[in-house]
Amino acid sequence: MFASKCDIRPALSVFSPTICELVRALCSDAGHGHPYGKMFGESLFVSLAAVLVHDGRILQRRRSQDGLGDRRIRRALDFIHEHLFEEMDVGSIAEAAETSPYHLSRVFRSALGCSIWQYVSRNRVQLAIGLMKDPKLTLAQVAKLSGFESYSTFAATFKSVRSLSPAHFRTRL
C-alpha cells in the first residue's frame, strides 16, 4: 500500500522523515483514487513543495533585495507548510522568516488578508476535512494528525472556520 523508505529515499537522494511521510500520503491518496478529495491531495502537494523549496532542492533563493516583504512572507509560508502537523508559534515562524513577530504579523495580514493563525487554522482544517473521510480514524486522531494540540482546540477551530462541529460535518460527508 505505502511506498517503503527504500523506494522513496533513492528517488529524492535524501532521507527526510517529513518528505517521506508527505510522499507516502500523496502516493496513497493518488493510488486510492483521491478518496479524501482533490483538496487533500493539493494540500499534501503544497506542503511537499514548500519543504522541497525551503531546503533548496528545487529552487535557489535570489540574493537580491527585491521584495523583502514577499521573501519574508514566502519563508513564513514555507515554514508553516513544513511544520503544519507540529506545534508552532509566531516567534518560530518569524524566526524562520528572518523578521520580528510584530512585523511579520503586519505584513502577513496585509499580503494575505488574514492573520497568521487564521491561515494556519484554515490549512489544518482543510487537512482535517480530507482525513475525516477515512471512517477508521476517530475525530481525536484526525485532530492530532492535522496538527491540533487537543481535540477541544480542533473542535473550536473547526467550528469557527466551517460553522459546523467536526462530528456534524463528518455525518454530512
In a domain, 154, yes or no: no
Is 54 inside a domain boundary? yes
Asked whether residue 10 carries a pLDDT value surpassing 50, the answer given is: no
Helix (H, G, I), strand (E, B) or coil at 96: helix
Asked, for residue 56, whether it belongs to a domain, the answer is yes
Q: Got the DSSP string for 115-153?
A: -HHHHHHHHHHHHHHHHHT-TTS-HHHHHHHTT-SSHHH
Indicate the number of domains in the chain.
1
Which one, of 91, 82, 143, lies nearest residue 116 by Cα?
A: 91
- Find out whether 158 and 165 touch, Cβ atoms under 8 Å: yes
For residue 108, give the CATH number of its domain: 1.10.10
Whether 28 is in a domain gets the answer yes
Q: What is the pLDDT of residues 56-108, one digit of tens each?
A: 544 444 443 344 457 889 999 999 999 998 889 999 999 999 999 999 999 99
- Single out the residue of 93, 87, 90 nearest to residue 74, CA to CA: 93
Question: Would you say residue 38 has pLDDT above 80?
Answer: no
User: For residue 152, is it within any domain?
Assistant: no
Is 165 within a domain?
no
pTM for this predicted structure: 0.61
Q: Is the pLDDT of residue 13 over 50?
A: no
Residue 159 within a domain: no
Average pLDDT over residues 12-20: 58
Note whether residue 147 is domain-resident: no
Residues 6+ apart with CB under 8 A from 157: 121, 124, 125, 148
Q: Which residue range forms the structural domain that includes residue 84?
A: 5-134
- With cell 456534524, the residue in question is 168
Q: What is the mean pLDDT of the chain?
A: 79
Asked whether residue 39 carries a pLDDT value surpassing 90, the answer given is no
How far apart (Å, rounded) are the C-alpha atoms in residues 21 and 40?
14
pLDDT for residue 50: 67
Would you state the cell numbers that stand for residue 165, as one nine-digit string? 462541529
Asked whether residue 22 carries a pLDDT value surpassing 50, the answer given is yes
Rounded distance, CA 142 to CA 93, Å?
A: 24
DSSP state of 56: T
All three cell numbers of 77, joined, read 509560508
